[in-house]
Amino acid sequence: MASNQRVAIVTGSSSGIGREIALILARNEFTTYATMRNIEKSLELKSITDKEKIPLRFVQLDVTEDNSVNSAIQTIHNEVGRIDVLVNNAGYVLTGAFEDISIEEIKAQYETNVFGLVRTTKAVLPMMRKQKTGLIVNISSGIGRFGIPTASAYVSTKFAIEGLSESMSYELEPCGIRTIIIEPGVIKTNFLNSMKLAKKSQDPSSRYKQLMKGVESGMNKMIENGSSPEFVAKIVFDTVSNENPKLRYLAGDDVEQIMEVKKKMSDEDFHNMMKQM
């Protein structure tokens, strides 16, 4: 590795946004570690790496396991001696009306989306502080800024990431470490296929069955006009290449439009608009 080459770690890199972030960073000369829970899912990325001769490497990392996180981060540091960028992307969507979601399902959602991010960040911070430089990029969501029905567990994890990231930024900036929040809108991925549906929501007798159908129909229409994973990856690359990045970046025309409208409305008016949508 060249002495001036930056090192990036991307969690949840097997597909979707994480896959594209790992590729764009490696294609732009970041020594990039694509990490994932199931390393067997790296085969397609490995073939691209071999074909394009890009500095993309692969490490197994399960964000829900302390030992897995600490071992992976230490392995990476031992190999290259530094970590410049951590992109916390690993996560999944749990859907279902709040009353239909069990405590266990909510805990599992937080274990990946929130505590997974906490584990990886804590693992890299001592190294970044020693370097006196680093970037923590947290992939949140546009719905980390406003709620939607049938996704209360998922939305609340993104609200948690927003608050955690903003609070950390004050503490870490004096150490030379910047915190960045990326807020994608609806993305054209296998979003609906990869969602986890709360067990009780699958019961035909659920009182929220019609609401679930309505939201799913609306989401299908939004996905047709959604942004690509490559679009979000480009924003991440531009951000980590910026010498003075902002705290927050919206990523998608849909979420930009909604946030612009939200600025001009009272909470009550925005709430009523969302109900109609």
* Predicted confidence (pLDDT) per residue in 156-183, tens digit: 999 999 999 999 999 999 999 999 999 9
Supply the DSSP symbol for 96.
B
pLDDT band at 2 (very low <50, low <70, confident <90, very high): low
Helix, strand, coil share (%) of the chain residues, nearest 5: 55, 15, 25
Report pLDDT for 219.
78
* Predicted confidence (pLDDT) per residue in 87-132, tens digit: 999 999 999 999 999 999 999 999 999 999 999 999 999 999 999 9
Q: Which residues are catalytic?
A: 154
As beta bridge partners, residue 196 has: 94
> CA angle, corner 40, sides to 34 and 43, nearest 5?
70
Q: Residue 255 phi/psi, 5° resolution?
A: -75, -30
Mean per-residue pLDDT, 56-82: 98
The first and second tokens of residue 255, run together, are: 């979420």
The amino acid occupying position 100 is D
pLDDT band at 216 (very low <50, low <70, confident <90, very high): confident
Give the separation between CA 253 and CA 187, rounded to whole angstroms: 11
Report pLDDT for 277.
74
CB of 185 within 8 A of CB of 255?
yes
Whether pLDDT at 188 is above 90: no
Number of C-beta neighbours around residue 179 at 10 A: 22
Mean per-residue pLDDT, 33-37: 97
- In 3D space, the residue among 117, 114, 198, 121 whose CA is nearest the CA of residue 159 turns out to be 114
Find how far residue 94's CA is from the centre of its chain: 14
Report pLDDT for 164.
98
Give me the percent of the chain exceeding a pLDDT of 70: 97
At the topology level, CATH places domain 7-276 in Rossmann fold (3.40.50)
Mean pLDDT of the chain, nearest integer = 94
Domain boundaries, the chain: 7-276
pLDDT band at 192 (very low <50, low <70, confident <90, very high): low
Whether pLDDT at 217 is above 90: no
Give the separation between CA 239 and CA 75, rounded to whole angstroms: 26
Number of C-beta neighbours around residue 126 at 10 A: 11
Number of C-beta neighbours around residue 93 at 10 A: 18
Burial of 277 (0-12, 13-18, 19+ CB in 10 A): exposed
Whether pLDDT at 230 is above 60: yes
Whether pLDDT at 221 is above 80: no
Give the separation between CA 182 and CA 262, rounded to whole angstroms: 18
**Global confidence as pTM:** 0.94
Q: Which residues of 50-63 are buried (b: 16+ CB within 10 A; e: fewer)?
A: eeeebbbbbbebbb
